[in-house]
Structure 1
């Protein structure tokens, strides 16, 4: 093998290493608090959650990840102003023994110039959203499952 060939091989190996591994697995961003993107993502999730919570909600976001095509949210719903939601006054009345609180998980897709709700769940007792990777083709890094 010539020096040029060996040098080219080393260069290719360095380039491939630089563009693989964790860097590709982390192809998402956290939309900043107060940003229009973050508001649009949460506003996409809000109507479904408000219907289940029997009233208006605001979110305390635990996790929010977005890529150009997907967004994933984990949040605690509260009443406007920070009031705690009584589960017995929601669509989940009587379900406290089969739920793990009111934590909300949501998956949105960016299509036709806007965010669209694909799926969501409230209070699962396991990692119920793990199936979204196969069901919807969402990258595992968005879900935190890399």
Structure 2
């Protein structure tokens, strides 16, 4: 009986980690998620932008991504040479590089980047209102947050 209880407890603790899946390379879902953030990235960084996926999670109609923006072929993006810097919207010395963190919501058949950041130096998505909606894809950041 104790062994069964321990197994159930272990499953309950690990279940949130199993609630999401990573859309595989080449899938329509992965492409749609990248395409949802791309216009924002191109507005800030200039086109073209390619993403290196560090983390990509989807659960039903929500998703989370941690992406490094680069030029096609792997070229680094100099934040001081970007349209957003030229407009006075970026402060590269206060940023953590060309990293995007994105929260997505599916609207009908379209993925929408509803919250995102470029170069964040904190975990802005670890916030109660965000955790209430996106916990299935960011559970480890929501520990202790109601």
Query: What's the TM-score once normalised by structure 2's chain length?
Result: 0.79
Supply the distance in 2 between the matched residues of 1:24 and 1:95 (Cα, whole angstroms).
Answer: 36
Shift of 1:87: 0.6
Structure 1 residue aligned with 2:112, among 109, 116, 120?
116
Distance 1:136 1:18, change over 3 A: closer
Shift of 1:141: 4.2
Structure 1 residue aligned with 2:123, among 107, 112, 127?
127
Shift of 1:104: 0.6
Count of residues in correspondence between the two structures: 136
Deviates more, 1:90-99 or 1:69-78: 90-99
Supply the distance in 1 between the matched residues of 2:33 and 2:119 (Cα, whole angstroms).
Answer: 20
What runs of 5+ residues in structure 2 fail to find an aligned partner? Answer: none
Shift of 1:137: 3.0
Matches within 5 A, 1:23-102: 23-90=15-82, 91-92=84-85, 95-102=91-98
What runs of 5+ residues in structure 1 fail to find an aligned partner? Answer: 1-6
Larger radius of gyration: 1
For the Cα contact (< 8 Å) 2:62–2:106, is it kept in 1?
Answer: yes
Match of 1:138 in 2: 133
Supply the distance in 2 between the matched residues of 1:126 and 1:24 (Cα, whole angstroms).
Answer: 23
Distance 1:21 1:36, change over 3 A: same
Q: CA RMSD in A?
A: 2.5
Supply the distance in 1 between the matched residues of 2:132 and 2:16 (Cα, whole angstroms).
Answer: 16
- Provide Cα deviations, 1:74-132, integer angstroms capped at 9, x if missing partner: 0110112221111111113661221111111111101212211111100011112223x
After TM superposition, where is structure 1 displaced by more than 2 Å over at least 4 residues in a row?
13-21, 135-141
Query: What's the TM-score once normalised by structure 1's chain length?
Result: 0.79
Supply the distance in 1 between the matched residues of 2:65 and 2:37 (Cα, whole angstroms).
Answer: 9
